[in-house]
């Protein structure tokens, strides 16, 4: 009972801090890093005092759709998993309502390509209504045309898969010309919402990749 009460108070504190830092991604990132450090120390102590480690739900990962406009070599969506399927808005709403009741304060929306889900802005807005912070994992190829609606709905955090540059990336995603769309998507977010939306680049470095560290950092800097 005491642990459950502490967990609820912790989650309420996270939500309050999230609202205060809504348009301050650098501050929010620093707070997340600090929280992760505290959790690491807590789990280290758990080796000596096991009673201090208790389940504390904090994040939900929600695959909205199997649809994707890429065919990445290392991904099974739309081929072996969730083929032609996506979650309905009503189902997603029920899951998020349950997440709120469980004390979840952050939800990752991904797929497939979540920007292909027709209700994504409404899903983001509903998360905000429940005081749950949403973040979207996307391939960025559709951001150029969809970021305005998502920002208006309350999206402030994005993570993007990064698989190389130019022809190398086009080859990996099996879609010619899509690295250019990827660049335009990142540029649209940067130019319109620099300092208002936090973007994380998830770099997949493969054994056969020709992309070196400096090239990757250059894309991140842009």
pLDDT digits 0-9 by tens, 171-211? 999 999 999 999 999 999 999 999 899 999 888 777 666 65
Q: Name every residue whose Cβ is closer than 8 Å to that of residue 94 and which is 6 or more positions away in sequence.
A: none
CATH top-level class for 59-221? alpha beta
Q: Which residues 6+ apart lie within 8 Å of 98 measured at CB?
A: none
Q: Hey, is 60 helix, strand or coil?
A: strand
Residue 40 tokens read as 């690491």
Angle, alpha carbons 96-99-101 (nearest 5°): 115
Where do the domains of the chain lie? 1-56, 59-221
pLDDT band for position 81 (cuts 50, 70, 90): confident
pLDDT tens digits, residue range 34-59? 888 887 887 788 777 777 666 677 88
**pLDDT at residue 184, as a whole number:** 95
pLDDT of residue 195: 87
| pLDDT band of 219, cuts 50, 70, 90 | low
State how far the Cα of 139 lies from the Cα of 136, in Å rounded to an integer. 10
In the chain the beta strands, taken as DSSP E runs, fall at 59-65, 106-111, 133-138, 157-162, 198-203
């Amino acid at each position: 009972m005491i642990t459950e009460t502490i967990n609820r108070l912790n989650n309420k504190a996270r939500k309050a801090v999230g609202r205060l830092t809504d348009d301050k991604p650098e501050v929010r990132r620093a707070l997340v890093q600090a929280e992760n450090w505290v959790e690491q120390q807590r789990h280290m102590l758990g080796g000596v005092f096991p009673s201090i480690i208790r389940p504390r739900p904090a994040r939900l990962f929600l695959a909205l759709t199997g649809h994707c406009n890429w065919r990445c070599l290392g991904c099974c969506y739309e081929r072996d998993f969730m083929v032609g399927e996506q979650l309905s808005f009503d189902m997603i709403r029920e899951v998020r309502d349950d997440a709120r009741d469980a004390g979840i304060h952050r939800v990752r929306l991904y797929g497939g390509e979540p920007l292909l889900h027709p209700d994504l802005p409404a899903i983001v807005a509903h998360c905000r209504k429940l005081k749950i912070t949403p973040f979207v994992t996307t391939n960025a190829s559709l951001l150029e045309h969809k970021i305005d609606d998502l920002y208006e709905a309350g999206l402030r955090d994005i993570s993007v898969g990064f698989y190389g540059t130019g022809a190398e990336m086009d080859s990996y995603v099996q879609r010619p010309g899509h690295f250019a769309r990827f660049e335009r998507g990142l540029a649209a977010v940067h130019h319109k919402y620099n300092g208002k939306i936090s973007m994380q680049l998830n770099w997949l470095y493969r054994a056969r990749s020709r992309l070196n560290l400096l090239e990757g950092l250059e894309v991140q800097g842009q």
